[in-house]
Structure 1
Amino acid sequence: MAVLEESAVRAALATVDDPEIRKPITELGMVDAVALGADGAVSVQVLLTVAGCPMKAELTRRVSEAVSRVDGVRSVDVTLGVMSAEQRQALQQHLRGDQPANEIPFAQPGSRTRVYAVASGKGGVGKSSVTVNLAASLAARGLSVGVLDADIYGFSVPRMLGVTGKPTQVEQMIMPPVAHDVKVISIGMFTPGNTAVVWRGPMLHRALQQFLADVFWGDLDVLLMDLPPGTGDIAISVAQLVPSAELLVVTTPQLAAREVAERAGSIALQTHQQIVGVVENMSWLDLPDGTRMELFGAGGGQAVADSLSQSTGTTVPLLGQIPIDQTVREGGDDGLPVVLREPRTSAAIALGEVADRLAKRQASLVGRSLGLTPTSR
């Protein structure tokens, strides 16, 4: 029979990530004590960041399963405590490092996170559906992904991603809920029921700034920001707070949507942002006989891409055309994006191809220091 050692138990605990912070609980100082009893009995004391931690049941399960796999362990007893104020402050310092309070990490020259602001000229074009499906698809490809629901008045991302939990606050940091391996924050997580948000411009700007600076996003590869329709306060605030954010314009084929999408994209001329591309949603309906019905016309997405290419003097590609598919709506209602729910449908495949193009894209050098220093002759 294997001799049970505390070092083996602690090594197992080092494989357990906190469900919210996504780092090992041993690294975060959450393992308070380990005790070995007779006949392979193990007791583990774990400290929660806050007393009302919504993920304590999940954390208990993870600890129990990890320790149970150690040779010689016959039973596991997990007890939960709560960090002191000093321990939470130490945790915040560990996570933030030297980053000053209220600093937006994505706006710093050294940031490696690609920030895509998903914009549209008008509502109803499926911008949020495109956002959540791209996020889930990118996360499924192994990238670290976050979604910021910046549509303060018309937030819908929590439902579409199936997020029911509330953020946890540790000192001055907000821990975002995670769904389908995507970190998510939305004003809808802070409002009771289906209450309307009635705010003016300065409050919108402050909310966006807090979501960017106070939320602990960790080391993200991609941050998708679901903007409200049009070219209002939020679009301007995004350009001010995260100048390196690139616009991803969503439109549908019809003329009315195309014209306003061009206006939404042309804001890049005033904010000096780059446009990563255009996604045409609801492009056609696949009929049982194999033909396509173009309910909203055709060519709108390419026309928007061509118009924005001409006005900005850059190449703005049409990244993809997403057909109309009932499973997209069903996935949004059920909180399971179609790229995960029905990955072989035509819409899921098209969305996956857009995600592939975004995943393979190199991070922009705009606003970044190249680390060059002049030398004297």
Structure 2
Amino acid sequence: MSKALYIHWPFCLAKCPYCDFNSHVRANTDAAAWQAALLADMRHEASVAGGEPLDSVFFGGGTPSLMPPALVAALLDEAERLWGFSDGIEITLEANPSSVEAAKFAALADAGVNRVSLGVQSLRDEALRFLGRLHGADEARMALETAQAHFCRVSVDFIYARPGQTLETWREELTEALALGTGHISLYQLTIEPGTRFATDVRTGALDPLDDDSAADLFALTREMTEAAGLPAYEISNHARPGEESRHNLTYWRYADYAGIGPGAHGRRGGAATVRHRKPENYLKAVHERRHGIAEERTLGVSEQLSEALLMGLRLGEGVDLAALASRFGVTAESLIDADKLALHQRLGLAWRQGQRVGVTPAGMPLLDALLGDLVPADLVAG
């Protein structure tokens, strides 16, 4: 049963040119209407996926730090009433470093948020302008100081492998980022996602992405520096001091159940996948008519679940326990991995195996997509 809850707030002040998340710019939002809708959606989910107390709650977006703190408090109070909270629950909210949002941090902490993920993205004003961010580097540093004063755990996000970025400039910026003192840092390579403004810029020749070899060199440097700083990679893009890993994201990567509410939110429960309506107006209409925002709910076949579990789990430094996965789904461990391809990639230093646990090495992580295509049997991927 669900032990994690994801709440999606779809609104942003502006759409970033690299973003393909379900985010929308609206002049006004009716907080009372959204509170009523999200509470109703949450109650529906709890009625079919109740059970154990929640280990984590995650407010994602969009820009959840635009939410009124009173709305955050109401949602957390209801979640605790419906599910209960485990001791030491992790309650994360994504935030942008604008001064308006940073001023809310004290109220958000009072509402129950105990971990913030701050979208710094860069400590260079020129890069922030390129990325379409509304804050500057100094504002980001001040917001981080405020966050660290109010929350016991703070994570920061950065985007690297930007056009023209060199090993020297990234080493300098990452050194500054690691000196910020957070226990968790997410370092994402810039990828050109379909449907984004950057995708249009690449198509028209206005943007020339960094080449793959240079990006791989930056990835290797990132691994080396974070390891030396005591924040090793526990997932391809996520680094943490031991014990400060994102419990919520580990729920996804370890393929455990989670409830997802809000526009466009995905969920997994009892072998079924749920997807909420993406467009905010359609979501509100659905909740008004049916008391939930589900647009699609379908049962996943065993092969599809196994494929998802492997594709997610192999992103982790800890890899995947084939015996545990086989026992969970009633299959043989041998059917989960292409043994010949695994042996080949082991010889190449790209994959590893320790007993029944398999994974991708740091050298293999830049090639993860290709490796997944090789290691996960085709019949599982095909479902």
More helix by proportion, 1 or 2? 2
- Flag whether TM exceeds 0.5 (same fold): no
**Superposition TM-score, scaled by structure 1 size:** 0.33
